[in-house]
Amino acid sequence: MSAALPGAWISDWDKDSLDTDEMVVNMGPQHPATHGVLRLELRTDGEVVRAARPHIGYLHRCFEKHAENVDYPGVLPYADRMDYVAAMGNTLGFALTVEKLMGIELSPYVQTIRVLMAELQRIASHAVAVGTYTMDIGAFTPFLHLLRDREKVLDLFEWTCGARLLYNYNWVGGVSHDLPDGFVRATRDFLREFDSVTFPELLELIIHNRIFVKRIANVGVCPPELAISHDLTGPNLRGSGLARDLRKDFPYSGYEAYDFEVAVGKGQYGPVGSCFDRNWVRVAEMRESSKIVHQALDRLEKMEKTDVHEKVPKRVKPPKGEIYFRSEAPRGQLGFYVVSDGGINPYRVKVKSPCFAAMSAFHHLAKGMMIADVIALIGSLDIVLGEIDR
Amino acid sequence: MDATYAFLVRLVPEIAGWPTWAIVALSAGLPALVLFHFMALAPLVYVYGERKIAAFMQDRLGPMRVGPYGVLQTIADAVKLLFKEAIFPRGVDRRLFVIAPLLVNVGAFLPFVVIPWGARLQPADLNVGIFYVAAVSALSTVGLIMAGWASNNKYALFGAMRSAAQIVSYEIPSLLIILVPVMIVGSLSLQDLTLAQAGGLQHWFLFRYFPIMPVAFVCFFVAGLAETNRAPFDIPEAESELVAGFHTEYSGFFFSLFFLAEYTEMFVVSAVSSVLFLGGYLAPHPALQQIGPLPMGWFWLWFKAWALVFVMMWLRWTLPRTRVDQLMYVAWKVLLPIALVLVVLVGGLVLLPATADGFPWDRWVGWPLTLLVVGFLFTVMIRALQWNRRREQELGLPAHGVAAAGQLPR
Amino acid sequence: MDAGAIHDALVLRFGERITSAELEAGSPFAVVRTDAIAEVAAFCKAEPALSFDNLMCLSGVDYPKQTPPRMEVVYHLYSYRHRHMFALKVQLPRENPAVPTVEGVWGVANWHEREAWDLFGIVFTGHSDMRRILLPDDWEGHPLRKDWQDPEYYNGLHVKPTPQMVERVLTGEPIGVGPFDFTPENRHVEEP
């Protein structure tokens, strides 16, 4: 019997030492505000949380075991389903890792398509993140406005590759479908509306709204050392003031040619590293992604088209070796550690998901806040349980 | 009641000979019955209105399928709720569980006794009218706490406690601000309060002692909003935090009773605000008070109350929710000092003979301000409609998204 | 610093506790003796020239067919200050694998090590909270091992379809669930 080691059963942390005033509140797997099936065990004293313990694993689908039993292109649909809100990033990460292992270089055309899709996906993913976050805080309308714009992005994706949510788009050596005619014009129409209407409205209506700011500006402050120690990456790290972005530091897929800024939390309404700053970074990143998409569209119009399947190998058989490669997914640094033994199937695929690291810091951040603030904290970390549990 | 009696006697003269108790029962019971039915069926319209207003603000359509433009949706929902199983979770206190929604509804419906719909169209003109309203609407607090306690559920208890704290805290500035029009008039009766605003829009209390009374109106409206647990003060029913707060465990018919009570309370708060500040059943211009033989008083009160209900819904779908301690902060540290200052200020102004009837510029403020606000809202609406049309022409895209009309450019 | 320089710095400090290294790999790594890993980790973080303040990933890998058969724990490190990367490995026996914990050095290691215990059975000595994280608390076994066999039952439910169930499906018997019938005739085929 090799279950947990003795003395480490689930709820023995509270039964003996529970104060008479304390209460164990379960924000169970089914809850409107935990984004996915997440169980939070909170030990509260009235409204104040004394300790928090997240329980994950409700969505574990054995991705790493499956990856060992299918061939490299077959891993890509499984990879899509990890972070299902931002699926382009997952396949991009795995495809780049295997391409690095095999030494495949892609044409600028395919690289530009990849950047375009990744940034459109970033806009859509942050729209969901910011929209659901404001809905948790109580404002229902920005969620629907942002989802309306996300629908337009999903329409573009469906037009290109046939799928709205899980695309299997980035293949090892290329992409699955070329861009259809008229795609550039349709994307520019979408961006025109997004830049001129949705984004300014979002800022005015909710981001600078006094009630919203008062709810989240002093809550969940994450100092930079804690962020680095717990491997918070992406908007969570940039919200704490560090301007680190893989697209600038270790650019891949041609990102070095694009001109954009890295959004950083500046502590406009409270201490740096609060929930507001993390949310603000996501909002600002939507605007930066829109800039990148404009530049990518400009480059696409001038570039000569190449066949998107020309570098896709007939059989993907990387040489024996191992590599760890990371890419900037909308939720942070998505890392793939691939060990190849020279065969058709990968020997080992380990995924470092950014939300996994963010949840590991949760109980440090949640100590001392009120229950309503716990909701604010979870939303600001922008977790997707599919990625945490794989 | 007298009006009903006179009307009935004209119809059926024998009634005059009936024993007193029968006369009273008939002439008091009949309007009560009519009013009660009217007010109990009104939430059907409010809920439909709320869903449509929310939808249009969120760039979607709302109920469209059940009946033309979804007008039968609420009826369908009401019927569904009636047929749903009323679940009694294990461990609930059955008696309290059942009584709680009834008590909340009692607290919501009793104020209708004194709301004046016309000069003689009022179930009872109590001489302590407004005081009665304040007293009786506090009954619903007891019902809320009962609901939370009887549910045998931590979350429901949380919601009930928060709700009780919120309502009690906001009653204090609310009552203090009620004193302001009462001081101006010198009477607690709602009929007197309305008649003191006679003469047209410029005499309404909203424009008296300008700009002091508009502040009072806004504070009273905010306090009333908090008392009905509406956003941004809807922490007790915070969907994303406590599922449904104090009425989490209620299903079926009992849930619909809570719904009923909430919308009725919204209407009561709006109606009382209209009576106190917006002239009650008086028309903006005396000529509109009676169109031919038809008295329009009921229409004007209904219109004003509905406008305020619309503002409540508008606020709900725009603003996020305040946290519990921030809510208390607003009640005790913002509204209460303002209310105290207002009472002292207006009390002093009423006593001084020079300002006993208001500031000299009051009569010139009413119409310009109203026309300004109405005009502004109108322009916003027109521009929104024009934006849709311009979008279709300029971009060549349908107004509601590329794929919605199946028109992806191919 | 490049991989060679990092390796030299480690060898300078720890001598033969750094058993081997492979600096030409896709991600250069050094193999550390098992009992020294906690010290090496602390050194990597504290030493100003190295300054590995971020643990990017901690993975367990199972190599049953190599000589000698072993399990490895791979630590991928990154420095925000110097922007360089390196990897450390420890090699453990496949029976009762145990290695000291590094959760005192990098906070995120807490959860990564719980996952390695959960899926491989590697015990991290000194860990504050060694319990399963992804699998249910009453699961038996460690699935990511290469010699893992699916159990037949879990809490009374079939884990895999039995050969009898498979036969019944192949003979065309409707064994689907509810209105969805997965027999061959009823499969929906797209017209091209």
Give whichever of A87-101, B254-268, C167-181 has the largest mean pLDDT: A87-101
Residue that wins the pLDDT comparison between B255 and A120 = A120
Coil, helix or strand at residue C67: coil
pLDDT category at A34 given cuts 50, 70, 90 is low
Residues of chain B positioned with their CB less than 8 A from the CB of A47:
324
Distance from CA of A152 to the nearest CA of B (A): 7
pLDDT of residue B367: 85
Eight-state DSSP code of residue B294: E
What is the rounded average pLDDT of the residues A346-365?
Answer: 92
Asked if residue A3 has pLDDT above 60, the reply is no
Nearest CA in chain B to A146: B58
pLDDT category at B244 given cuts 50, 70, 90 is low
Distance from CA of A299 to the nearest CA of C (A): 30
pLDDT category at B258 given cuts 50, 70, 90 is confident
Asked if residue A337 has pLDDT above 90, the reply is yes
pLDDT category at B78 given cuts 50, 70, 90 is confident
Judge: A57–C133 Cβ closer than 8 Å, yes or no: yes
What is the rounded average pLDDT of the residues B168-173?
Answer: 91
Q: Which residue has the tokens 């950083």?
A: A264
pLDDT in tens, A194-243: 988 888 888 888 888 888 888 888 888 999 989 999 999 999 999 998 99
Residues of A with CB under 8 A from a CB of B: 23, 25, 31-33, 47, 134-141, 144-145, 148, 151-152, 155, 158-159, 180, 182, 185-186, 189-190, 192, 205-206, 209, 211-212, 214-215, 370-373, 375
Strands C70-78 and A22-27: unpaired
pLDDT of residue B240: 44
Eight-state DSSP code of residue C66: S
Nearest CA in chain B to A202: B318
Please state, in angstroms and rounded to a whole number, the distance separating the CA atoms of residues A336 and C125: 26
* B393: contact with A, CB 8 A cutoff: no
- Long-range pairs for C155-159 at CB < 8 Å and ≥24 separation? none
Which of A56, A231, A337 is nearest residue C133 as measured by Cβ atoms?
A: A56
* B231: contact with A, CB 8 A cutoff: yes
What is the rounded average pLDDT of the residues A257-261?
Answer: 92
Distance from CA of B370 to the nearest CA of A (A): 25
Residues of chain A positioned with their CB less than 8 A from the CB of C108:
229-231, 357, 360-361
Of A187-191, B212-216, B328-332, B357-361, minimum mean pLDDT range = B357-361
pLDDT in tens, A274-319: 999 999 999 999 999 999 999 999 999 998 888 888 889 888 999 9
If one counts every other C-beta atom within 10 angstroms of the C-beta of residue C37, the result is 21
Distance from CA of A295 to the nearest CA of C (A): 28
Nearest CA in chain A to C120: A2
Residues of chain A positioned with their CB less than 8 A from the CB of B322:
211, 214-215
Please state, in angstroms and rounded to a whole number, the distance separating the CA atoms of residues B73 and B70: 5
pLDDT in tens, B324-361: 778 888 889 999 999 999 999 999 988 888 877 778 88
Residue that wins the pLDDT comparison between B152 and C37 = C37
* B239: contact with A, CB 8 A cutoff: yes
Please state, in angstroms and rounded to a whole number, the distance separating the CA atoms of residues B319 and B321: 7
Of A200-214, A288-302, B63-77, C152-166, minimum mean pLDDT range = C152-166
Please state, in angstroms and rounded to a whole number, the distance separating the CA atoms of residues A235 and A277: 9
Which of A4, A64, A229 is nearest residue C107 as measured by Cβ atoms?
A: A229
Judge: C119–A64 Cβ closer than 8 Å, yes or no: yes
Secondary structure, 3-state, B144-203: HHHHHHHCCCHHHHHHHHHHHHHHHHHHHHHHHHHHHHHHHHCCCCHHHHHHCCCCCHHH
Distance from CA of A169 to the nearest CA of B (A): 20
pTM: 0.83
Buried b (16+ CB within 10 A) or exposed e, C49-68: ebbbbbbbbbbbbbbeeeee
Judge: A141–B58 Cβ closer than 8 Å, yes or no: yes
Residues of C with CB under 8 A from a CB of A: 25-27, 53-57, 59, 61-62, 74, 76, 80, 83, 85, 87, 106-108, 110-111, 119, 121, 123, 129-144, 148
Judge: A100–C53 Cβ closer than 8 Å, yes or no: no
Judge: A324–C61 Cβ closer than 8 Å, yes or no: no
Average pLDDT of chain A to the nearest whole number: 87
Residue that wins the pLDDT comparison between B293 and A291 = A291
| ipTM score | 0.88
Residue that wins the pLDDT comparison between B340 and C25 = B340
